[in-house]
């Protein structure tokens, strides 16, 4: 495994829709392993392949910092409800914003063995998956944020469950 460089938001690859994975070969598996190491090193909760400069529809998520969800060619099959929550992004360091997302989603994707899987998610995992699928479509959270939030405001806000649990450290 190796660390990869996380690109920042002025890199054009972050604005291009990522390409579908045609074949899950050793390069794709190595990329997944490297993305996990890179996300953990950066203390993020999710990462999309184009954030490390690879235009492939691959994302990972780790809402609890331990278990890992790996999705290849993910598409959002269904979504329900709406919830506003604070997000940050490893490609946009130091910035946070309030972003509306679906509360519950169903995602269809391939796993690393190439099997089709359906995943139902809610709460933080649903938010991360929507953030990462947006990355794969060239969309950043700042495009959708209702307002940006001062990081100091996050540190002081102990009322919202999400912000008090993560103190503005939810970056993906
Ligand atoms: Ni991000």
| Residue-level pLDDT at 160 | 46
Q: Tell me, in angstroms, the distance from the centre of ligand 1 to residue 5's CA.
A: 14
Task: Give domain status of residue 4, yes or no.
Answer: no
CATH number, residue 32: 3.90.45.10
Among candidate residues 18, 30, 46, the one with its CA nearest the CA of residue 121: 46
Domains in the chain, number: 1
- Tens of pLDDT, residues 155-167: 765 444 443 334 4
Q: Tell me, in angstroms, the distance from the centre of ligand 1 to residue 47's CA.
A: 6
Q: Indicate yes or no: pTM above 0.75.
A: yes
Q: Tell me, in angstroms, the distance from the centre of ligand 1 to residue 4's CA.
A: 15
Q: Tell me, in angstroms, the distance from the centre of ligand 1 to residue 35's CA.
A: 13
| CA distances from residue 11 to 6, 35, 51 in whole angstroms, order as listed | 10, 18, 9
Q: Which residues are catalytic?
A: 132
- Tens of pLDDT, residues 60-97: 999 999 999 999 999 999 999 999 999 999 999 999 99
Question: Which domain covers residue 77, as residue numbers?
Answer: 12-171
Is there a contact between 142 and 15 (Cβ–Cβ < 8 Å)? no
Task: Give domain status of residue 83, yes or no.
Answer: yes
Q: Per DSSP, what are the bridge partners of residue 89? A: 92
Q: Tell me, in angstroms, the distance from the centre of ligand 1 to residue 165's CA.
A: 19
- Tens of pLDDT, residues 102-122: 999 999 999 999 999 999 999
pLDDT > 90 in the chain, percent: 85
Task: Give domain status of residue 116, yes or no.
Answer: yes
| Residue-level pLDDT at 164 | 37
Mean pLDDT of 6-16: 96
Task: Give domain status of residue 85, yes or no.
Answer: yes
Residue 44 dihedral angles phi and psi, to the nearest 5°: -95, 170
């Amino acid at each position: 495994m190796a660390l990869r460089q996380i690109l920042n938001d002025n890199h054009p690859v972050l604005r291009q829709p990522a390409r579908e994975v045609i074949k899950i070969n050793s390069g794709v598996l190595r990329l997944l392993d490297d993305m996990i190491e890179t996300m953990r090193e950066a203390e993020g909760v999710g990462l999309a392949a184009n954030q490390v400069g690879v235009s492939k529809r691959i994302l990972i998520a780790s809402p609890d910092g331990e278990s890992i969800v790996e999705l290849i060619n993910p598409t959002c099959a269904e979504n329900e409800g709406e919830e506003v929550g604070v997000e940050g992004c490893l490609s946009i360091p130091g910035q946070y914003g309030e972003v509306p997302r679906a509360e519950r989603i169903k995602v269809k994707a391939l796993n690393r063995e190439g099997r089709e899987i359906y995943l139902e998610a809610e709460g933080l995992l649903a938010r991360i998956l929507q953030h990462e699928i947006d990355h794969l479509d060239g969309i950043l959270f700042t495009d959708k944020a209702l307002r940006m939030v001062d990081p100091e405001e996050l540190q002081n806000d102990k009322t919202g469950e999400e912000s008090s649990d993560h103190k503005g450290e939810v970056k993906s």
